[in-house]
Amino acid sequence: MPRYAKLSDNNLSLADSLINSYEVHLGKKKKELKSLVTELEDKGYEYRFVRSLSLLLDRRSSFLCNSKVDPVDLRRKIFQATEQLGLPTTFDNRQKIIANVASSVSLSTKEVEENFYSDLDGELVLEKFSSPSSIELLSAYNLGLTQTLLFEASELYFTTSGNWQNIFYAIKKFGLIYEVYEENKIWVKIDGPASIFKLNRRYGINIAKILPVILDNSEWIIKAKVLWKFTNEVCDFKIESQTHSSLLKKQYSTHITYDSSVEEAFASQFQALNSGWVLKREPEPLPAGKQVIIPDFTLEKAGIKIYLEIVGFWTEEYLQRKIAKLRQIKTQMLLLVNQTLACEKLSRLKNNSEFDLIYYRDKIPLAPILRYLETKFEEVKSKELQTLKELPIRFTESIVDFDEFASRIGVSKEAARTFLTENLPSDYVAMADVLVSKAKLVQIDNKIKEALIPKGNLALTEAARIIEKEGLDDSANVLVALNYKIKWRGINSEQAEISKIH
Amino acid sequence: MTGLTGHNRLSIMLHLHFDKGTLLLKGQVGTPYGKWDPRVECYRIKAHHYRDVLDYLHQSKQQIRDDVAELPPLEQFQGSIKLRDYQAEAADKWHKAGNRGVLVLPTAAGKTFIALKAIQKLKVQTLIVVPTLDLIDQWRRRIKENLNVEAGVVGGGEKNLRMVTVATYDSACIHAEKLGNKFMLIIFDEVHHLASTGYMQIAEMYIAPYRMGLTATYERTDQRESLLPQLIGDLVYSVDIKDLAGEHLSPYTYEKIAVELTPPEQEAYNSQIEIFKKFLQERRISLRSAADFQKFIMTTGRDPKAREALLARNKAMKVALNSEAKLAVLAKQLEFYNNEKIIIFTLYNDLVYRISHRFLVPAITHHTPRKERREILSNFESGAYPVVVTSQVLDEGVDVPDASVGVILGGTGSNREYVQRLGRLLRKKDEKLARLIEIISKETMEVATSRRRHRKIGGNS
């Protein structure tokens, strides 16, 4: 486990004083700045820690040579003078050469000495510095520490709450290979092509590059196998957002983003339709064998889920492979294909009409998508109804919840409702979201009647309390089913009363 | 069923292609070189088995579609390269070993020419892998001079591929996924580097069936050179420095000058080294080998006492290295050899710049801008600059034109370093005697370092 820098007062104040050192050294030489950093090392802080923080700050700095003369030219003149006047093995001879050069470039001897090596690293001057906060600096340190460890990693495993599109884009970009598996959550394993031959550090650097993209999420668990440099032992490494997210705050920039302007435009247009379909961007990836499909959207209505993906540049072979993958996972997915981005002639595409594809030219068309969704909705529903009809269904419980029933059987809520209300068992009554047995209703009716007896009527709130106590929250529908009527006195339900209709 | 149609037969044909530094074999046939990769559901093979896989499939009378190689266009070479006897013998042994293997020749024995001759003879796309950017420049010049084609370069910010391309080990390794199928011959200059864990992958991820390794120092302290034969072929030719000295290389003399520290320096040295020694005694640590020292260095990261001891040791070493007395001796040597070309080596950049500053002579370290470095080297070659002072940058392989005197101030005590620094001086020119002078501090640890460095080579002093 790397020794993370905690966000302790001690560390934060070290970070602050380092940042401050850089700020006050604007316009001064790098070696002066660095000697101040060395002083901090000697004040009891671990020197590696101080040095790493300083290196991170160097990356936010720009150091320049601000010499009046080009030091390379000046040196050339000095070396040429040495050649002409002879190698100075005495101090006097040396001064003669310097004086000679000084007069030829119209500088003082002091300026010649100062500019002799003014382009060396330590002589450069801090011109610009963009200050981070102390927390940002410590986070960057912790990220760097983790990445350094991952340089030695042979493989990485992670699960996360989102940002899938960018993560898989990065995996591809860095030439890595992934496999997907499910263990309560969707896990992804990353390594590289040659990993199959032996445990291999080669991909460590690229694995480390993906880390910030994974961390750019609210929840994550990351595990890695790390080959210990000296002994080649395999060590397990694990961090998760629950315990580590404060140490590894979101970084300044991750540099890997997927262009998603087309997706964004579509999402906002679709949402403006208020179609009843709930659109979600970048849902969880769908495992397809060991590979994965990351759909752009899910569209959900009454428990029926349809995936949708916008296809960028494509070839027929690409579409065929994609469709084969989709068949494997038996999921409803609609592909929106831009004809102008085809990488081959359109005439070859006609045969594809059997698949769930919508071609378009300029703008993603909403009407055919809605038509598709409604057709699919009916299709899925009727298929599910068929399944339900073939099942032997008998209830023993007094209350049957549609939601619970739907998920138990594995159908949409919509199909469950339609099926249960259309094939109502004779001893049950259908409410909005549940079926209730007639016996249960009689039991409730008796309890209400008991409360009614003294006065002949009862406060609505009291009746609702009795019904809820019996496990039903839809009191209004229950009362209607039991032949009660509600007398309203104004709009306040506290004053409403019920009585039996005879 | 009527048997296979022509179309079906095509569809079962094997397909071999390059995938990010490996080969993928699609079809229903495996090979003893490959491994089933369930992630992509076909056989995956290390790229360096390219020729073996083809042989196996041909022997098995399997038709394959081979899409592996993507080679840069061929170019015409011009000019002829004449090899010396021992160079021709080395080249011959390499060809006979199936155009594979390692050649060991001392620095300045003309390894480059053997390689260029092989490229000229085989006329295939070639990658030359070198340890430093300096060597890229040097090879590029040599290729232009001897083959009359421009070389491609990968490394130091450049990336252009040509029939003959030069790359650093780092670039060849980082870009193996993209470059691995672009060359048929690969030449490793200073091949002992290849045996490190990271660089070894270069050999594995490139398809080139023809391979040549060149070095003056085949053995490594970690003995990993034993991994080289399976990657590039056996050691096919080796000639000792002593066999060539005098005949093809300049004979040289070696001289060691021990200098006493000035009294204040000696005092500073003693007080620092005492801290270091005391720490070792208290902790009962003995530092007998480089590995012991490496272990000790590692503990300094977390143990402030150990770090203090290390810093004290470094301060003591610096006092010895930077000794005024040594600089005075250096001044005398510079005076004495003032008609010669002199190159001064030292370990620390600080000292390089101090010498440059004191004697107003050009310095080369890894901070020196490339353009300036080239200018200094060419002026040194022409004689315009008679003296150059440098740290380890020039250590390996880069030719420094006919320096006749070398002065060593300090060093790490490694054998290889010594051989290569020495080699820098061995340019045969006008029957001149090359000199190597080492200036060390008396009564310090440096004496032990110098002895260790000298143990193996034993020059003809």
Suggest the residue from A73, A75, A173 to mutate for an interface test with chain B (most B CBs closer than 10 A).
Answer: A75
pLDDT in tens, A242-260: 888 888 876 655 455 556 7
Domain ranges, ordered by start, for chain B: 6-66, 85-239, 252-260+324-454, 263-321
Question: Under an 8 A CB cutoff, do B334 and A87 touch?
Answer: yes
A193 touches chain B (CB under 8 A): yes
Q: Strand locations in B280-376, DSSP E?
A: 342-346, 363-364
Q: Residue range A463-475: average pLDDT?
A: 86
Q: Any chain A CB within 8 A of the CB of B267?
A: no
pLDDT of residue B392: 61
Measured in whole angstroms, how far is the alpha carbon of residue B438 from the centre of its chain? 23
Query: Which of A78, A89, A120, A188 is the best residue to mutate to test the B interface, defined by the most B CB atoms within 10 Å of its own CB?
Result: A89
Residues in A closer than 8 angstroms to B37, CB to CB, are 196
For domain B252-260+324-454, is the CATH number 3.40.50.300? yes
Asked if the Cβ–Cβ distance from A201 to B197 is below 8 Å, we say yes
- Are the beta carbons of B359 and A81 separated by less than 8 Å? no
pLDDT mean over A377-405: 86
Taking the C-alpha atoms of residue A248 and residue A214, their distance in angstroms, rounded to an integer, is 11
pLDDT tens across the length of chain B (461 residues): 333 333 444 445 788 999 999 999 988 778 888 899 888 888 999 999 999 999 998 888 888 889 999 999 999 999 889 999 999 999 999 999 999 999 999 877 889 999 999 999 999 999 999 998 878 988 999 999 999 999 999 988 888 999 999 999 999 999 999 999 999 999 999 999 998 888 999 999 999 999 999 998 888 777 888 889 999 999 999 987 667 665 566 666 777 788 888 888 889 988 988 898 898 888 888 877 777 777 787 777 777 788 888 888 888 888 887 788 888 999 999 998 888 888 888 878 888 999 999 999 999 888 888 889 889 988 988 889 999 998 765 555 565 666 788 888 864 333 455 545 555 555 555 666 778 888 887 766 555 555 555 544 433 33
Taking the Cβ of residue B7 and every Cβ of chain A, the question of whether any pair is shorter than 8 Å is answered with no
Query: In the structure encoding, which two tokens stand for residue A441, read together?
Result: 């209703």
A vs B: CB pairs below 8 A: 85
| Residue A186, both tokens | 């969707």
Q: Tell if the CB–CB gap between B331 and A89 is shorter than 8 Å.
A: yes
pLDDT confidence of residue A451: 83
Of A43-52, A76-85, B361-370, the poorest mean pLDDT is in A43-52
Q: Rounded to whole angstroms, how far apart are CA atoms A332 and A223?
A: 32
CA A136 – CA A126 distance, rounded (Å): 21
* Tokens 């996972």 found at: A329
Burial (0-12, 13-18, 19+ Cβ within 10 Å), A64: exposed
Same fold, B6-66 and B252-260+324-454: no
CATH for B85-239 is: 3.40.50.300
Minimal CA separation from A184 to chain B, in Å = 22
Q: Does B301 touch chain A (CB under 8 A)?
A: yes
Which residues of chain A neighbour B20 with C-beta distances below 8 Å? 175, 192-193
- Put simply, whether A81 touches B (Cβ < 8 Å) is yes
Print the SS3 string covering A61-122.
EEEECCCCCCHHHHHHHHHHHHHHHCCCCCHHHHHHHHHHHHHHHCCCHHHHHHHCCCCCHH
pLDDT at A331 over 80: no
Contact B195, B224 (CB under 8 A): yes
Closest CA to B113 of B94, B93, B88, B135: B88
Would the CB atoms of A193 and B338 count as touching at under 8 Å? no
Chain A residues inside the 8 Å CB shell of B301: 48
Neighbour-count burial of A262, counting CB atoms closer than 10 A to its CB (0-12 exposed, 13-18 middle, 19+ buried): middle
Q: Which residue of B has its CA nearest to A192?
A: B20
CATH of range B6-66; options 3.40.50.300, 3.40.1170.30, 3.40.640.10, 3.40.50.1110: 3.40.1170.30
The pairing of strands B64-66 and B164-168 is unpaired
- pTM for this one? 0.71
Output the pLDDT for position B378: 86
- B21 inside 8 A of chain A by CB: yes
Q: What is the pLDDT of residue B410?
A: 67
Q: State whether B360 and A193 contact (CB < 8 Å).
A: no
The whole-number pLDDT of residue B459 equals 38
CA A350 to chain centre: 38
Residue A301 pLDDT > 90, yes or no?
A: no
- Cβ contacts (< 8 Å) between A194 and chain B: which residues? 21-22, 46, 201, 204-205
